[in-house]
Amino acid sequence: MEAGSARHMGCDGSIRCVSPEKAIMELVGVSYEYYDRFKALEEVDLTLQEGVKMAIVGANGSGKSTLLQVMAGILFPKKGRVLFRKRPVSETSLRDPGFRHFFRSRVGYVFQDPDVQLFCPTVMEELMFGPLQLGLPHEEARSRSEEILEMLSLEGLAQRPTYMLSGGEKKKVAVASVLTMNPELLLLDEPTNGLDPRTQSFLVDLIFSLHEVGKTIVIATHDLSLVMELHAKVAVLTEDHRIHKVGDTEEIIEDEALLLKANLIHEHTHRHDGEKHSHLHGHAMPSIVFFAELPDGASPREQARAMGRLYEEAGVSRIISRRDLVAIKLHVGEKGNKTYVKPELISELVKRVKASRAFPFLTDTCTLYRGQRENAIKHILLAHGHGFSIEKVGAPFIVADGLVGTTEMEVEIPGRMYQRVGVAREILNADALIAVSHPTGHPGTGMGACLKNLGMGLASRAGKMRQHSAIRPEVQEARCQNCGKCRRWCPHQAIVEKNGKSFILPERCIGCGECIALCRFDAVSFDFGIECAELQRRMVEHALGVLRGKEGKCFFFNVLVDMTKDCDCLGEAQRKIVPDMGILASQDPVALDKATLDLVKDRRGFNLGELSYPELNPMVQILYAQELGMGSTEYILERIEVEAKMPAST
């Protein structure tokens, strides 16, 4: 078989080899009206290439379901042509037994409502019906059905009446009944609509698996988050029932004017800090945040076990393709810090990424402040000293912005403050990104978690300076003890001694905020209310730049263990301010950080920002990220069971 071809098994057991570049279906000038009065499709032109994933998106009533049923040969256009492998599909052609068998054995359609599709007395009979109609012997039809039941973990439902199934089970059986015919082209109408998170995840995994073995997949949906997760080719149906654009996921998602026209997003106006703002909202299902709960004091080995369980249950492997360069973003902790995420957890991720035949590497960037992470040499030595060595973790540690933090690339973004942001170059060179964040308080942003790990942690040195320039700290002389610690740590030597006190030179200050975190006498202050909000928004715009071009190729973990008032950049041991809770995982960084705040508040009565720096509001970064389309504050918490031993009593 030639390279680049895919294999399909026919109903007769033969192997068919097809070229990915070959058009499997073409629609030319297709129009359709119900009862010759109600327009559903108007002059639709669409070419479907062999082996693609395609999402047909549009608002309710735009014609998505009608289009899929035309492609499936259930409805026939009043005008225009439908071609399957260059052969016309029509009422006349489907009366021919030879073509009918050819078409029905190769094109499968799953209705939006499974109750419309399922009609046989039992699940087994439902699965056998299609193959029997295609003329397969009874034993082969049964064998195929048993194989599909096993593949979808439905063996226990074989003899159950279909009317006694749950909604999720009905959807799985509807898909299974089509898969028994082993179609080349699978059409799925709103496949995740109305399903619980676990069944949604199951179906998305199944779509990826079927595509990987050469199936051509077309889904109809109005859920843009599903489209981004599938990373599909996208055709946009607008409310005039025409396809206005076909493009890659990124191209379509960035075309806000088109999405507004198609009624897939809408403009929402509200107020922040007394100012009126308008931004765009999408019509999508809530994001899923997975949560593996752990007891307080769980060992690194137990945490690693939870991390591995989350990786599997959340389907992280979906974002990784063979031979991908996969960046695992982490914080190795400053020298003297003890509360960073431990190597055992990272090793668990490395092992699973390698199982997908990809190439993982650990990464972080150089800091602005003087310390053990200010350049790549010191940073790598510190990482190895803290256990993040190839021998222990299984992957190299690579500093993403080069020797001294200047290896960067500028990324165009649709921001309010920036049109271009500086991002560490090797992050942009990576094919996929897994960010492992350790939520803590932060003196400049209230909370540092996933969004900060992305925006500040993966910005270049210049990008960090642009963010921090929002802060202008001052030393309160009455409180300053002249200990000199802030002067020693200032990355730009902007703090000097003056009249026996520390003094910040405003012309040299870059606003990194390290002096605020270091001072234990509360002698350094700045305008938290205004400047903190500005810093958070700048940070979020840099996070947007980090994720740009990696839609569908990112996953995020927040490790809610050893959470402290200040971040892991502080070079000293800190005490935790919240009992250990567990690990969160999601493809949505906004929902992930919102869930972090919510869980801590449920446990302690105050969120992490309120416990650390109550004068700051970390919701600024979360709401702003939502406004920029990076995720949603609406989420479903999916709890994952993990066996973890209780820590030994002392």
**Alpha carbon distance 521, 154 (integer Å):** 63
CA distances (Å), origin 1, targets 5, 49, 157: 7, 19, 38
Whether 512 maps to a domain, the answer reads yes
Do 424 and 331 share a structural domain?
yes
Q: Which domain holds residue 4?
A: 1-106+222-261
> What is the predicted pLDDT for the residue at 123?
95
Q: What is the pLDDT of residues 161-180, one digit of tens each?
A: 988 888 788 989 999 999 99
Is 157 a domain residue? no
- Distance between CA 585 and CA 552 in Å, rounded? 15
Least confident of 10-14, 214-218, 595-599: 10-14
Cα within 13 Å of Cα(599), Cβ side: 30
Query: Would the pLDDT of 277 be above 60?
Result: no
Does 618 reside within a domain? Answer: yes
**C-alpha angle 202-206-209 in degrees, rounded to nearest 5:** 140
Is 316 a member of any domain?
Answer: yes
SS3 420: strand
pLDDT digits over 341-357, tens only? 999 999 999 999 999 99
pLDDT at res. 471: 64
Q: Quick one: which H or E segment has residue 29?
A: strand 23-34
Q: Give residue-wise pLDDT tens across range 30-68.
A: 999 987 878 899 999 999 999 999 999 998 889 999 999
pLDDT > 60? residue 390: yes
User: 196 falls in which pLDDT band (50, 70, 90)?
Assistant: low
Q: Are residues 406 and 382 in the same domain?
A: yes
Quote the Cα angle for 64-67-68, to 5°.
Answer: 90
| Mean pLDDT across the chain | 87
Residues 449 and 573 in one domain: yes
Say if residues 356 and 322 touch (Cβ distance below 8 Å).
yes
Average pLDDT over residues 541-562: 94
pLDDT in tens, 480-532: 999 999 998 887 789 999 999 999 998 888 766 677 767 878 898 765 444 78
CATH of the domain at 624: 3.40.50.11440
Residue 152 lies in a domain: no
What CATH number is associated with residue 497? 3.30.70.20
Q: pTM for this structure?
A: 0.58
Higher pLDDT, 81 or 645: 81
Read off the CATH number of the domain in which 60 is found. 3.40.50.300
Q: What is the pLDDT of residue 465?
A: 76
Joined together, the tokens standing for residue 407 give: 């290896």
Counting the structural domains of the chain, the total is: 3
On the question of pLDDT at 267 being above 60, the answer is no
